[in-house]
Amino acid sequence: MDVIQINDVGKSFGKTEVLHDVSFQIKKGEIVGLIGPSGSGKTTLVKAIIGMEKVDSGNVSVFDKGMPNREILSRIGYMAQSDALYLELSAEQQMMFFAKLYKVPKNERKERILAAMKLVDLEKEMKKRVMNYSGGMKRRLSLAMALLQNPDLLVLDEPTVGIDPRLRKEIWGELTSLKEQGKSILVTTHVMDEAERCDRLVLLLDGTVLASGSPSELKERFQTDSIEAIFLQKKGSEG
Ligand SMILES: Nc1ncnc2c1ncn2[C@@H]1O[C@H](COP(=O)(O)OP(=O)(O)OP(=O)(O)O)[C@@H](O)[C@H]1O
């Protein structure tokens, strides 16, 4: 079964077309990277997947249901590109607020919060108010929030921006183990060594799918040794 199905999706803002006939699927237990230069339409697509943005044509379904769908949304852990955090609260209060909102059973809340915070290496900073967090800490807290309700699908929009290489490696280790538990993960990134860790990549350029496949398939198809070079090649050929 496909966890995410995107069929011929088109979207414009005013006269500007930002997505054109975009189609791809994500299966259970797969990490798919959505890769593309700034402005290529990644965030718009991610928002369409979670039902935050309406598409003009085509359709988006998640777990076989058309989005937006409230029930399905509770199975998705979403991490937005910009952190939506309550600065006045401590990280722990913030997590508790969302644990209630996500209807995490009362007797599991503390345990789940601690597990998610450990994963992003923030368990010692839980009492601190979020306003005193650094940019990278806020990013990590947003990731912990996305993991809180133990979702079947994670949709992460540039999750590792501002996160140092050591923790980035740990986070990717965790994403891989979540995938091994059968979770599906869609991640947007600009970081090419992260792209290499995905099972499959969807390369987006100017709102269209340039190519998709495993990192090694793509490199072979385009006869390059890096994913980045594929974009450079394509841009060059447009001249
Ligand atoms: N609400 C909006 N109104 C008008 N234009 C928009 C809106 N949201 C996005 N756009 C435009 O759509 C295009 C794609 O934006 P999007 O944020 O999806 O790109 P992106 O690939 O996620 O870029 P980045 O990597 O920089 O985040 C851009 O030209 C952007 O200006």
What are the tens digits of pLDDT across the range 166-206? Answer: 888 888 988 998 999 999 999 998 888 889 999 999 999 99
Paired sense of beta strands 2-13 and 57-62, if any: antiparallel
Mean pLDDT for the stretch of residues 149-162: 91
* Residue 16 pLDDT grade (very low, low, confident, very high; cuts 50, 70, 90): very high
Contact 192, 168 (CB under 8 A): no
Instruction: Provide the ipTM.
Output: 0.96
Q: What share of the chain in percent tops pLDDT 90?
A: 71
Residue 206: what pLDDT? 94
Q: How far is the CA of 18 from the centre of ligand 1 (A)?
A: 7
Higher pLDDT, 82 or 127: 127
Chain position carrying tokens 């959505």 = 34
Which ligand 1 atom sits nearest the alpha carbon of residue 81?
27
- Indicate the top mutation candidate among 18, 47, 192, 204 to test ligand 1's pocket, ranked by most ligand atoms within 8 A of CB: 18
Q: How far apart are CA 26 and CA 141, in angstroms?
A: 26
Contact 200, 214 (CB under 8 A): yes
* Residue 238 pLDDT grade (very low, low, confident, very high; cuts 50, 70, 90): low
pTM of the model: 0.92
Instruction: Count CB-CB contacts under 10 A for residue 154.
Output: 22
Residue nearest ligand 1's atom 1 by CA: 13
Higher pLDDT, 193 or 61: 61
Is the pLDDT reported for residue 239 higher than 60? no
Residue nearest ligand 1's atom 4 by CA: 13
- Residue 197, helix vs strand vs coil: coil
Task: Using the Cα atoms of residue 179, residue 185, residue 191 and residue 192 in order, give the sign of their dihedral.
Answer: positive
Higher pLDDT, 149 or 187: 187
Which ligand 1 atom sits nearest the alpha carbon of residue 45?
18
Residue 127: what pLDDT? 96
Contact 157, 42 (CB under 8 A): yes
Query: Ligand 1: residues whose CB is within 6 Å?
Result: 13, 18, 36, 38-44, 81
Q: How far is the CA of 41 from the centre of ligand 1 (A)?
A: 6
Contact 207, 22 (CB under 8 A): yes
Is the pLDDT reported for residue 5 higher than 90? yes
Contact 176, 16 (CB under 8 A): no
Is the pLDDT reported for residue 236 higher than 70? no
* Residue 149 pLDDT grade (very low, low, confident, very high; cuts 50, 70, 90): confident
- Indicate the top mutation candidate among 11, 38, 43 to test ligand 1's pocket, ranked by most ligand atoms within 8 A of CB: 43
Q: Per residue in 99-148, pLDDT tens? A: 998 888 999 999 999 999 998 889 999 999 999 998 888 988 999 999 99
Residue 12: what pLDDT? 97
H or E element: which one contains 213?
Answer: strand 208-213
Residue 33: what pLDDT? 97
Mean pLDDT for the stretch of residues 72-89: 89
- Which backbone phi and psi does 158 adopt, to 5 degrees? 50, 60
Residue 29: what pLDDT? 96
Contact 203, 218 (CB under 8 A): yes
Query: Where exactly are the structural domains of the chain?
Result: 1-69+185-239
Thinking of the domain 1-69+185-239, which architecture would CATH place it in?
3-Layer(aba) Sandwich (3.40)
Q: How far apart are CA 14 and CA 185, in angstroms?
A: 31
